[in-house]
A and B are shown apart, each in its own frame.
Chain A
Amino acid sequence: MLTLRQLVIENTRFNLNSTVFRFNNATSFPLNMDISNQSNDTLVAINQLTFYRGDRLIFDNISLQFQRGKITAIMGPSGTGKTTLLKLIGGQLSPKQGSVVVDGHNVHQIERTQLYQLRKKMGMLFQSGALLTDMSVYDNVAFPLREHTHLSESMIRSLVLMKLQAVGLRGARDLMPSELSGGMARRVALARAIVLDPMMIMYDEPFTGQDPISLGVLLHLIKSLNTTLGLTSIIVSHDVRETSAIADYIYIIDNGKIIDHGTPTQIQQSESEWVQQFINGDMDGPVHFHYPAPDYVDDLLSYAT
């Protein structure tokens, strides 16, 4: 019962920390945990990775590094395989060439059981939330605990309520996933992703299709979870403004290649015209508004002749 007491104490401490989740203090994020001594080493390293889907080249010899305790964003237009990159890191897909090293393990060469051990330490937030539709919010968050641990039901309850409190949905524990809004579903999925206390979380398009309030909530959650839990975060997104607001480092990918990378300020001052068009959302630039076509006037008149 000592462990349970400790849990409850931890729980209350977490609640204190969770005051940072309130939004009256939007711009400052207190660093509650000392993670600075680790901040320089790499948790995830992608080396010279090439990946084909069918005959289509998705990634052409790219290399990326993700620093421990930092929020790293991968940005690029839709359809550039950003989600594929996350699946490669998670070991769900295998590359044609190159390697993905997570916490010192080559994801595609370790054995299945080791990969599963590693995945317990990697949370992933899917675009849709990927909540199990036949279970309540509570059971969804408890799911990884019930599958992987032999904790008593009272312990599971404490842990689940703790994580739900962290995302502000402790009161929604009895709802079914179909009763949740998109933003709430993502928050529940976030609670589920952190319930095993992972070392990193991968976010797949967390901001897509969210109303401004949900968006604000998610932004704050991602940033504050990163600092309070000492997580390493990888965000895949094409929402430039939101992502640059919280990211420590940004990679921009297009056509299977890394176009540019750097801190948000460096990206802002990028010399690449393409990057400027992408981050500013300009209508015309290196990417033309018009799909390649013959001359407009010729085309219009061609029928008459």
Chain B
Amino acid sequence: MLQFFQNLGHSTLARFNKLGRASFFLIHALSGFPKVAVRPRLLINQLYSVGVLSFFITTISGLFVGMVLSFQGFHILADFGAEETLGVMVAASLVRELGPVMCALLFAGRAGSALTAEIGLMKATEQLSGMEMMAIDPIHRIIAPRYLAGIIAMPILAILFSCIGVLGGHLVGVSLLGVDNGSFWGQMQAKLDFWDDIFNGVIKSIVFGCAVTWIALFEGYDTLPTSEGVSRATTRTVVNSAFAILGLDFILTTLMFGDH
């Protein structure tokens, strides 16, 4: 019994310790942002690997999510004779929830794990250490541009996810199931508000971008410099990111849409 509490205390302390290190890491990385602004090339390279390379998985997923949403929604709404509101249903669920959340989960799997593996391998092969010995701060030179790129790429991907999702929903709803084109768009426009729905969705995705990229980079930076350590860190990135996304989503949704 005593052993149990001892273990509990130990792991709690270890967790706090890690959180503290992650916070210092975050502050250190943020302090490197001005340096990135001076050298946009570093940012462009990272936007490519974080954003452009996640483009296809995001848009394809968005298309299918939109199509399935439309298909399922149609059958439920048709029971109430409210097929016209299909557009509202598809667009609202995409823009408010599915776009930011699904996209962030995909981002954690695609870009987040890649970032952890990359940084972890750089640590394991002494590249980060080597940079320090060349008097180059690896957190400013390597981490900061990746972090900024993650924060920028995430909302763009979420917006694209929602757009393609709505188009997919339109494809199934209007072209396949025969919902009226005019009411599909019209109801959507009547019901969705730019600031309440779309802007809030973008805010969500920016928050997710900050969280996922932070987790991914810190796990990579904090990994044990062995191949086993890197592979474990990669798994931790995906799992912790998923928890962070879902937890943050609940908090943000309550704050944003709670009064409706």
List chain A positions with a Cβ less than 8 A from chain B.
87, 90, 92, 116-117, 119-120, 122-124, 126-128, 130-133, 143-144, 147-148, 189, 192, 196
Contact = CB atoms under 8 A, between A and B. Distances in A.
B121 to A, nearest CB: 8
Interface string B133-158: 11111000100000000000000000
A144 B134 contact: yes
B183 interface: no
A127 B141 contact: no
Main secondary structure of the interface of B (DSSP, over half): helix
B126 A144 contact: no
Interface string B77-121: 000000000000000000000000000000000000000000001
Contacts of A87: 129
19 contacts: A87-B129, A92-B129, A92-B132, A116-B135, A120-B134, A120-B135, A123-B133, A126-B129, A127-B126, A130-B126, A130-B129, A130-B130, A133-B121, A133-B127, A144-B134, A144-B135, A144-B136, A148-B135, A196-B134
Chain B contact-residue range equals: 10 to 19
B125 interface: yes
A43 B77 CA distance: 81
B90 to A, nearest CB: 41
Given A117-B135, A122-B133, 4 more contacts: A92-B129, A126-B126, A130-B125, A133-B122
A127 B125 CA distance: 9
Nearest to B125: A128
A199 to B, nearest CB: 13
A130 B127 contact: yes
B103 to A, nearest CB: 26
Nearest to B133: A124
A119 B126 contact: no
A147 B134 contact: yes
A116 B133 CA distance: 8
Contacts of A189: 130
B136 A147 contact: yes
Given A130-B125, A130-B126, A132-B127, A92 B134 contact: no
A102 B77 CA distance: 76
A132 B130 CA distance: 9
Nearest to B49: A134
A235 B86 CA distance: 72
A189 B131 CA distance: 12
A92 B135 contact: no
Contacts of B125: 128, 130, 133
8 nearest A-B pairs in the assembled complex, by CB-CB distance: A130-B130, A119-B135, A130-B126, A124-B133, A116-B135, A126-B126, A120-B135, A144-B134
A232 to B, nearest CB: 15
Nearest to A86: B133
